[in-house]
Amino acid sequence: MTAGATTVPAAEAATIFREAAVANRSDPLRRASTLHFPNYGQVVMTGDLHGHSHNFEKLRRYAMLDRASARHVILHELIHVETRPGATDASHRLLLEAARYKRDFPEQVHFLQSNHELSQLTGHQILKNGRPVIEDFLAGIVETYGRSDAVAVYEAIEEFLASFPIAARTPNRVWLSHSLPSVDDLRTFDAGVFERAPEPHDLAHGGAVYQLVWGRRFTAEHVAELARRLDVDWFIVGHQPQETGFDVMFDRLIILASDHSHGSFLPFDLSKPYTLEGLTANIRKFAAVA
């Protein structure tokens, strides 16, 4: 399900993306490439959305950020959908709505870098059902805004994607990122990237950000080692498809998916300690949101 927001003029869309990029870079919770949440309020963590506008609207209704000033929403993997032959990837519309959400609530809406956004930014090709998603995404922008105006919109999108932090941590020892480095990458992974602005080599194939957002192969031992290195107890990520909306692995790791009718999200308080069971009990289904 792709986003169906009303199209705005190209100049307005570009302005929204650029303003959201500025808000990302100046986020008061941000230190280098990592968000550090306070010891009060609530975080609502999502999984991959992949253009699912219906779940995004439910998320906004649930979060009610205009009434809950200490609540934070984390978004990642917003773009790229599987399309039928001849159909257009319109996930740029959801990306625009998310950028507008950040502009409207700059200290409450946050983004994390993901493999699909990173690939669109760096030109690293991904195939979904055999279709090149980077080209499909660009074609959707051209179809919406026209070839001449699409250039300015896409340049603003690139600025927006480049502004994303790569991880978040909470005072109650929860780590939030799109994924984690695979077990095969742990030896070479440079955890210093969380304490500095990523360089181009970090974003390239095999770099630290690339390893972070593309990781899939996990073991109990390597997740425990990551927890030790990062000084956290629990991980909440997305990236890996989950038919039931979530999975729990290795007594430390929760994987969320938000891009289908069984999709899930996870709200949790920042002011109290959690067990894995306590975090898992907080998982909510989008289908239950009126």
The whole-number mean pLDDT for each consecutive block of 10 residues of the chain, a chain of 290 residues, reads: 65 98 98 98 98 97 98 97 77 97 98 97 83 90 95 98 98 98 96 96 97 97 97 98 97 97 98 97 97
**pLDDT score recorded for residue 106:** 98
**pLDDT score recorded for residue 95:** 98
Residue 70 placed within a domain: yes
**pLDDT score recorded for residue 107:** 98
Residue 204 placed within a domain: yes
Residue 156 placed within a domain: yes
- C-alpha dihedral, 290 to 264 to 139 to 132, nearest 10°: -160
**pLDDT score recorded for residue 86:** 66
**pLDDT score recorded for residue 38:** 98
In the chain, what's the furthest Cα-to-Cα distance? 53
**pLDDT score recorded for residue 2:** 44
Residue 214 placed within a domain: yes
Residue 3 placed within a domain: no
Sheet with 109-111, side-by-side order of all strands: 109-111, 71-75, 42-46, 264-269, 284-285
How many H helices and E strands in the chain? Answer: 10, 14
Residue 1 placed within a domain: no
Residue 113 lies in domain: 10-288
Number of domains making up the chain: 1
**pLDDT score recorded for residue 6:** 57
**pLDDT score recorded for residue 163:** 98
| 32: CATH | 3.60.21.10
**pLDDT score recorded for residue 4:** 46
End-to-end distance of the chain based on CA atoms, in angstroms?
Answer: 18
Residue 43 placed within a domain: yes
